[in-house]
Amino acid sequence: MPQRIFTRNVSAPRMLLLLALAVGLMVIDQHTTWLAPARAWMEDVGQELARMAGLVGRAAGWSRTQLAAPATLAAENQQLHAEILVLKGQIQQLAALSAENTQLRALLSAAPRPGQRLLMAQLISVAPDPMRHLIHIDHGSSDGVFVGQAVIDATGLMGQVIEVGEHHAEVLLISDERHAVPVAVAGSGVHAIAEGTGDYHRLRLRHVSPTLDVAMQDLLVTSGLGGRFPPGYPVGRITAIAHERGQAFVEVSVEPAARLDRSRQLLLVFPDAPAAPNAPAAPAAAVPPE
Amino acid sequence: MLRILLSLGIALLLTANGARADWQFFLPPLVLLVTLYWVLHGPLTCGLGFAFGVGLLVDLLGDAPLGQHALAFCVTAHLAQLLEYRVRHFVLVHQALMAGALTLAYQLVVVAIGLVLDDGSLRLAQFNAVWSAMLAWPVLALALRGWHDRAW
């Protein structure tokens, strides 16, 4: 047998065996739940490692804060105090509006809106595949996190929890191509579905009729239809409306309100039991991290 | 073995703590490149089984269908093994071209499986990693060569 000089003689049976194993795993993973426990266990291990790696980054951030000049810290502190004051003022107004809303709903004999409780979570890792807009956060079933739970940041809706481990959860961002969220135009109340495009800075509204009352810079909020997302959270603003001749629908582009590509501190939204019709509504309370 | 696991661990952590931005498509597939390096330079310890295991880890980290990246890693490692003798005599520039070609093969397999399983879509941006893999390979190979006992 002639000796190979430029190519190596590799094991074809082993290759075929591994290919068959991979195909078998894919079939089992897609059509059964047999691998779910093993997968969950491996994901827990992987997320623990990612959390440890995140600790290194957080330690670097802590040392940066500790080493920052006192003057910088004092200025930052002053700015934060001013922001807190403004936010407290806005919350007072919200509480009054919320109470008024509850009274009006009681007059209309409408069911009171359930309140919400928030829990702060930290980002621990990002899915390596750029085609999947998935992130992992540091709270799981031990904190009451559940599949389908809405996740927001300081500016708007981020996505929803799709998988929960004991101490971590996986969040599908609203910009992922597989994600869709029912929205309403704030003001006109027009309903639509906002779909992800695979681009962190663009969502699209599908099947919007040209006669509907939508305009540039309109704010879209979660409509609450379907019961998955609580109503009223900002989803984005309309940035482009394109209507091609002969097409039945217009193509509407939306810029997400949340900072999907930057936010590291997120909030998990817990729906509370509906308040009594005549009870004053309490504003959502933010639970500080441990 | 420790060096292999450490380099892979660093690549996995860098990938998992990567950016969330549209330029994410231009990030080099570090885990794949490190795996290919060890398949090419440590054939006795790192073979197809090793590549398969790393692929499974990538599947788990990325919530992909179990076996998708494992199969792609396996195919790419097999191609790398076929070229092993040749690659060892390549200069870094030619090795970089080879890394680009192998990354292209890897991406094609991943995209094809995604389309078959109806778990993904085809975007040209997915193949941007080929260019960054070619740019990253010389740096990565030089860095890992420092760890490597054997002379090239």
In a domain, B42, yes or no: yes
Q: Rounded CA gap, A138 and A164, in Å?
A: 10
CA distances to A258, A276, B127 from B23, in Å:
19, 50, 12
Q: Which of these, A144, A146, A217, A205, lies nearest to A174 by C-alpha position?
A: A205
Which chain B residues are Cβ-neighbours of A49 within 8 angstroms? 13
- Give the model confidence (pLDDT) of B58-80 as tens digits: 888 777 888 889 999 999 999 99
Q: Rounded CA gap, B77 and B46, in Å?
A: 10
- Closest residue of chain A to B55, computed from CA coordinates: A22
Interchain contact B24–A (C-beta under 8 A) = yes
DSSP notation for chain A: -PPPSSS----HHHHHHHHHHHHHHHHHHHH-STTHHHHHHHHHHHHHHHHHHHHHHHHHHHHHHHHS-HHHHHHHHHHHHHHHHHHHHHHHHHHHHHHHHHHHHHHTTPPPPEEEEEEEEEEEEE-S-TTS-EEEES--GGGT--TT-EEE-SSSEEEEEEEE-SS-EEEEETTSTT-EEEEEETTT--EEEEEEEEETTEEEEEEE-TTS---TT-EEEE--TTSSSPTT-EEEEEEEEE--TT-SSEEEEEEESS-TTT--EEEEEEEEEEPPTTSPPPPPEEEPP-
Q: Would you say residue A48 has pLDDT above 80? A: no
Q: Which of these, A116, A101, A158, lies nearest to A134 by C-alpha position?
A: A158
Q: Would you say residue A64 has pLDDT above 70? A: no
Bridge partner residues of A192 (DSSP): A183
Distance from CA of B147 to the nearest CA of A (A): 22
What was the pLDDT predicted at A279? 43
What was the pLDDT predicted at B51? 92
Which chain B residues are Cβ-neighbours of A53 within 8 angstroms? 13, 16-17
Sorted by where each starts, the structural domains of chain A and their CATH numbers stand as 12-67 (no CATH), 115-273 (2.40.10.340)
Question: Nearest CB to B52: which of A18, A54, A261?
Answer: A18
Q: Render the burial of A40-60: b for 16+ CB within 10 Å, e for the rest.
A: eebbeebbebbbebbeeeeee
Q: Would you say residue B150 has pLDDT above 60? A: no
Q: Do B64 and A23 touch (CB under 8 A)?
A: no
- Closest residue of chain B to A34, computed from CA coordinates: B66
3-state SS class at B146: coil
Name the residue with higher pLDDT: B117 or B32: B32
Q: Rounded CA gap, A128 and B31, in Å?
A: 10
In a domain, B11, yes or no: no
Average pLDDT over residues A230-256: 89
- Closest residue of chain B to A22, computed from CA coordinates: B67
Question: Nearest CB to A39: which of B13, B66, B70?
Answer: B66
Which chain B residues are Cβ-neighbours of A132 within 8 angstroms? 62-64
In a domain, B92, yes or no: yes
Q: Do A19 and B71 touch (CB under 8 A)?
A: yes
In a domain, B50, yes or no: yes
Per cent of chain B over pLDDT 70 is 89
Distance from CA of B34 to the nearest CA of A (A): 15
Q: In terms of DSSP bridges, do strands A150-152 and A157-164 run parallel, antiparallel, or are they unpaired? A: antiparallel
In a domain, B16, yes or no: no
Q: Do A19 and B16 touch (CB under 8 A)?
A: no
Interchain contact B118–A (C-beta under 8 A) = no
CA distances to A9, A275, B75, B91, B98 from B87, in Å:
14, 70, 17, 8, 8
Interface probe for A, chosen from B33, B63, B122 (most Cβ of A below 10 Å), is B63
Q: Rounded CA gap, A82 and B62, in Å?
A: 41
Q: Rounded CA gap, A65 and A59, in Å?
A: 10
Number of domains observed in the structure of chain B: 1
Which chain A residues are Cβ-neighbours of B66 within 8 angstroms? 25-26, 28-29, 35, 39
Name the residue with higher pLDDT: A99 or A281: A99
pLDDT confidence of B109, banded at 50, 70, 90?
A: very high
In a domain, B152, yes or no: no
Per the listing, tokens 């995604």 go with: B114
In a domain, B17, yes or no: no
Q: Are A279 and A259 in contact (CB under 8 A)?
A: no
- State phi, psi for A241 to the nearest 5 degrees: -130, 115
Average pLDDT over residues A47-62: 67
Domain of B32 in residue numbering reads as 24-145
Q: Rounded CA gap, A215 and B137, in Å?
A: 49
Name the residue with higher pLDDT: A278 or A18: A18
3-state SS class at B1: coil
Average pLDDT over residues B36-53: 85
Whether ipTM tops 0.85, in short, is no
- Give the model confidence (pLDDT) of B23-37 as tens digits: 677 788 899 999 999
Go through chain B and tell me how many residues it has.
152
What was the pLDDT predicted at B105? 94
Q: Rounded CA gap, B48 and B77, in Å?
A: 6
Q: Rounded CA gap, A252 and A242, in Å?
A: 6
In a domain, B12, yes or no: no
- Give the model confidence (pLDDT) of A109-132 as tens digits: 777 666 778 888 988 888 877 788
pLDDT confidence of A90, banded at 50, 70, 90?
A: confident
Question: Which tokens belong to B121?
Answer: 């879509």
Q: Would you say residue A274 has pLDDT above 70? A: no
